[in-house]
């Protein structure tokens, strides 16, 4: 049976399109000569937009774990605005190490910071690391090959209760217990080494009706594994206080999230910082893509942007 028969709109192959670009520029409000950080510069879409606004007297520090993404950012800037290339500083690192990176690069004063927590189409479809449930690839899911834990280790070595826990907590998967039990059953027969094998295992565990819902039945399991492999929520929690600390007074922090767990962390952090008088929240409700943007880029539909200004 072919488990890749149903390609929802969010999985349509397309060139990488940065989300909420107009909103990013509106809330960051970059001006000529200012300095900004793009903590997940990815393929450079947002980075380029910011650079065009700060001009040749401004600088931008771009951070990403994926060296290939950094190279693509460099090439994008070189192709579209070569005169601004010297104003771009690229660093291969985790945004969770923000303070260290800023200190090492002696970068400042910092007028604004952007963090886009979404994955690019290239990461999903071309990395070969098993991020997409629509392609049969090695079950890896690491953003950087230098990381330790991979998805294949979790699926084949973790205890049933540990698997069920992460599927519930990080995937918000209602059939977490059934999926964990089926993973244990299958891996006793044969190790689950590829994404296709995992998708087939999930399909055996969930009701037939669930396999034809609004989102693909493997979405939440893949999300949970990716979050755990890359410490995504922990890294976000480490990043946020560092971002407020390194910003100059009046500087702005913009975060784009793509699922409720990330958005909840950002919302609660902003509220607590506002309560302490450290920031002003600029988005009482998160900014979301307009219907026109969702039509052009279906993957953007779950994006939420929150912004705050340091007092």
Q: Give the domain-ending residue among 229, 254, 283.
A: 229
Do 25 and 117 share a domain, yes or no?
yes
Distance CA 136, CA 7 (A): 14
Q: What is the pLDDT of residues 227-286, one digit of tens each?
A: 999 999 999 999 999 999 999 999 999 999 999 999 999 999 999 999 999 999 999 999
Q: Are the C-beta atoms of residues 39 and 255 closer than 8 Å to each other? A: no
Residue 11 within any structural domain of the chain:
no
Residue 207 within any structural domain of the chain:
yes
Ordered DSSP codes for 197-250: HHHHHHHHHS-TGGGGSSS-TTHHHHHHHHHHHTTHHHHHHHHHHHHHHHEEEE
Residue 133 within any structural domain of the chain:
no
CATH number at residue 202: 1.10.150.170
pLDDT at 252 (0 to 100): 98
Distance CA 56, CA 68 (A): 25
Q: Are the C-beta atoms of residues 143 and 66 closer than 8 Å to each other? A: yes
Do 115 and 32 share a domain, yes or no?
yes
Residue-number span of the structural domain to which 161 is assigned: 148-229
**Looking at the 3D structure of the chain, how many domains does it have?**
2
pLDDT at 5 (0 to 100): 33
pLDDT at 214 (0 to 100): 83
CATH number at residue 278: 3.40.50.150
pTM: 0.90
Q: Which residues make Cβ contacts (< 8 Å) with residue 303, sequence separation at least 6? A: 19, 20, 118, 256, 257, 258, 288, 289
Distance CA 62, CA 64 (A): 7
Q: Give the domain-ending residue among 229, 244, 264.
A: 229
Cα 119–chain centre separation: 5
Do 220 and 249 share a domain, yes or no?
no
Residue 132 within any structural domain of the chain:
no
Structure tokens given for 18: 């940065």
Q: Give the domain-ending residue among 229, 251, 271.
A: 229
Do 113 and 253 share a domain, yes or no?
yes
What is the DSSP pairing of strand 35-38 with strand 59-64? parallel
Do 241 and 112 share a domain, yes or no?
yes
Distance CA 117, CA 271 (A): 20
Q: Which residues make Cβ contacts (< 8 Å) with residue 309, sequence separation at least 6? A: 250, 251, 252, 253, 279, 280, 282
Structure tokens given for 207: 């009701």
pLDDT at 122 (0 to 100): 61
Tell me the β-bridge partners of 307. 254
Structure tokens given for 231: 């410490």
Do 52 and 201 share a domain, yes or no?
no
pLDDT in tens, the chain (311 residues): 333 333 333 333 334 578 999 999 999 999 999 999 999 997 789 999 999 999 999 999 999 988 888 998 999 999 998 899 999 999 999 999 999 999 999 999 999 999 999 876 566 666 688 998 988 999 999 988 777 899 999 999 999 999 999 999 999 999 999 999 999 999 999 999 999 999 999 999 999 999 888 889 999 999 999 999 999 999 999 999 999 999 999 999 999 999 999 999 999 999 999 999 999 999 999 999 999 999 988 888 899 999 999 99
Do 244 and 219 share a domain, yes or no?
no
What is the DSSP pairing of strand 88-92 with strand 279-281? unpaired
Do 212 and 247 share a domain, yes or no?
no
Do 238 and 97 share a domain, yes or no?
yes
pLDDT at 118 (0 to 100): 86
Residue 208 within any structural domain of the chain:
yes
Do 161 and 195 share a domain, yes or no?
yes
pLDDT at 139 (0 to 100): 96
pLDDT at 69 (0 to 100): 84
């Amino acid at each position: 049976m072919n488990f890749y028969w149903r390609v929802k709109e969010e999985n349509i192959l397309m060139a990488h399109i940065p989300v909420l670009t107009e909103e990013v520029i509106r809330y960051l409000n970059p001006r000529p000569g200012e300095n900004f950080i793009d903590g997940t510069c990815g393929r450079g879409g947002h980075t380029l937009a910011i650079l065009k606004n700060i001009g040749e007297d401004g600088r931008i520090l771009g951070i990403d774990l994926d060296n290939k993404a950094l190279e693509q950012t460099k090439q994008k800037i070189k192709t579209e605005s070569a005169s601004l290339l010297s104003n771009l500083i690229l660093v291969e690192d985790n945004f969770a190490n923000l303070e260290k990176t800023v200190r090492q690069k002696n970068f400042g004063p910092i007028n604004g910071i952007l963090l886009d927590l979404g994955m690019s189409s290239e990461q999903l479809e071309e990395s070969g690391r098993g991020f997409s449930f629509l392609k049969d690839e090695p079950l890896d899911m690491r953003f950087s090959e230098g990381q330790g834990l991979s998805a294949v280790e979790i699926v084949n070595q973790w205890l049933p209760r540990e698997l069920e826990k992460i599927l519930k907590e990080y995937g918000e998967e209602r059939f977490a217990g059934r999926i964990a039990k089926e993973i244990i059953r299958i891996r006793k027969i044969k190790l689950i080494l590829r994404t296709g094998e995992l998708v087939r295992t999930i399909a055996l565990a969930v009701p037939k009706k669930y396999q034809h819902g609004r989102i693909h039945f493997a979405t939440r399991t893949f999300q949970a594994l990716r979050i755990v492999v890359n410490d995504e929520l922990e890294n976000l929690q480490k990043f946020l206080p560092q971002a407020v600390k390194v910003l100059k007074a009046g500087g702005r922090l913009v975060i784009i999230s793509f699922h409720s767990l990330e958005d909840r962390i950002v919302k609660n952090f902003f509220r607590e910082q506002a309560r302490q008088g450290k920031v002003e929240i600029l988005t009482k409700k998160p900014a979301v893509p307009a219907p026109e943007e969702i039509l052009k880029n279906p993957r953007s539909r779950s994006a939420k942007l929150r912004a705050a200004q340091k007092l």
